[in-house]
Structure 1
Amino acid sequence: MIIWLNGTFGAGKTTTAGKLAELLPQARFFDTEQVGGMLATVPDLPELGDFQHWPPWRHLVVETASQLLDYVGGILVVPQTVLVKQYWDEISTGLAEAGIEVHHYVLHTDRDTLAHRIVNDRPTGHDWRLRHLTDYEEALPWLRDAAQIVDTTHRQPKDVAKAIADDAGALG
């Protein structure tokens, strides 16, 4: 099984993923950005602005997740923003074809709360993360159809993790 945590930057994906991994002994944190980092070391890939735009990233995420689950079993917790519907369709179709059950959640809060979290989260990277809020809002219509929306506005990450684990049937 994969528990995929989607949503924009500042929604609490990484923190919630860590809490899920603590809550579920059979869960493993899978950072798909590392697949993008690996691809970024390959010379002559086109400059597209985001590793998700490289088709090999999407295919390697599916293949890596499949191989990991075949090797170690359990649950992969993936905190990864995917705001392009075509990319999510490629990933989710590939995972379904591999026979992997995917529980897709979008961690959501209002724009003001997101902006506050982003500005107060880290000393750098605010502008880049804030610029993606509009992309997230534009993706919300298809995300609402493709995932379960989880409001994180007034909830602690441990509570969000417990609710997701319960919903996914991962607590047994």
Structure 2
Amino acid sequence: MIVWLNGTHGVGKTTTSALVRELIPGSRVLDAEKVGETLMDIAPSLPWTGNFQDWPPWRPLVVETARHVLDYTGGTLVMPMTVLVEPHWREISAGLAHHGIPVRHFVLHADQDTLRGRIDGDLVMGPSDFRLRYLEPYAEAARTWLHTAAEVVDTTRLTPAEAARRIAESVAVTP
């Protein structure tokens, strides 16, 4: 199974995914951003689109990487990755379904003021214009498709540990 943690940059996906991993036996974290970083290494030969997720190889490579890791290790993959473009999500989820891989899709959500505060106050990454640029695209995705395509965990007033516990408990009751 895959537990996909979606949501905008700065909402706490990376932190929460590590905590979810601790709560779900036999799980491990697979960060799909690493697939994008691999493509970025060959970027001079790829037409720049502004986001590696727009490169056609990224989405099937994410699917195949997850499939091969699960075939090798079994268990559960916790995948923290922002995907705000609906056709991209549909391609990934259809690819995983094609291989018979169940996906629990969660969106970590917080209100705009909370997100801005978290991004501006991030002690590890520091304030980030990149992350701030995704607040409106996230809000648009949330309004139009994302919140209906996933289980929403509102983290506005939750710690990452509380959010992780809610996700792990929800996954544990899956039939």
TM norm structure 2: 0.94
Superposed, 1:9-24 pairs within 5 Å as 9-24=9-24
Question: Which residue in the other structure is 1:7 paired with?
Answer: 7
Question: Which residue in the other structure is 1:148 paired with?
Answer: 151
Determine the C-alpha separation between the residues in 2 that align with 1:50 and 1:80. 13
Q: Is residue 81 from structure 1 mapped to residue 85 from structure 2 by the alignment?
A: no
Question: Which residue in the other structure is 1:129 paired with?
Answer: 131
Note the aligned Cα RMSD (angstroms): 1.6
Gaps of 5+ in 2: none
Q: Which runs of 4+ in 1 moved over 3 A?
A: 122-125
1:11–1:109 Cα contact (<8 Å) kept: yes
Determine the C-alpha separation between the residues in 2 that align with 1:6 and 1:163. 15
Determine the C-alpha separation between the residues in 2 that align with 1:142 and 1:53. 18
Partner AA of 1:149 in structure 2: V
Determine the C-alpha separation between the residues in 1 that align with 2:37 and 2:138. 22
1:165–1:171 Cα contact (<8 Å) kept: no
Question: Which residue in the other structure is 1:30 paired with?
Answer: 30
Q: CA deviation at 1:55?
A: 1.0
Question: Which residue in the other structure is 1:58 paired with?
Answer: 59
Determine the C-alpha separation between the residues in 2 that align with 1:123 and 1:84. 24
Name which of 140, 147, 162 aligns with 1:138: 140
Residue by residue over 1:72-98, the C-alpha shift from the partner in whole angstroms, topping out at 9 and shown as x without a partner, is 000000000000000000000000011
Gaps of 5+ in 1: none
Question: Which residue in the other structure is 1:41 paired with?
Answer: 41
2:119–2:126 Cα contact (<8 Å) kept: no
Q: CA deviation at 1:123?
A: 5.0
Q: CA deviation at 1:170?
A: 7.0
1:20–1:162 Cα contact (<8 Å) kept: yes
Q: Secondary structure at the match of 2:46?
A: coil
Determine the C-alpha separation between the residues in 1 that align with 2:45 and 2:173. 42
Identity within the alignment, %: 53
1:58–1:90 Cα contact (<8 Å) kept: yes
How many aligned residue pairs are there? 172
TM norm structure 1: 0.95
1:24–1:171 Cα contact (<8 Å) kept: no
1:24–1:170 Cα contact (<8 Å) kept: no
Q: Secondary structure at the match of 1:81?
A: coil
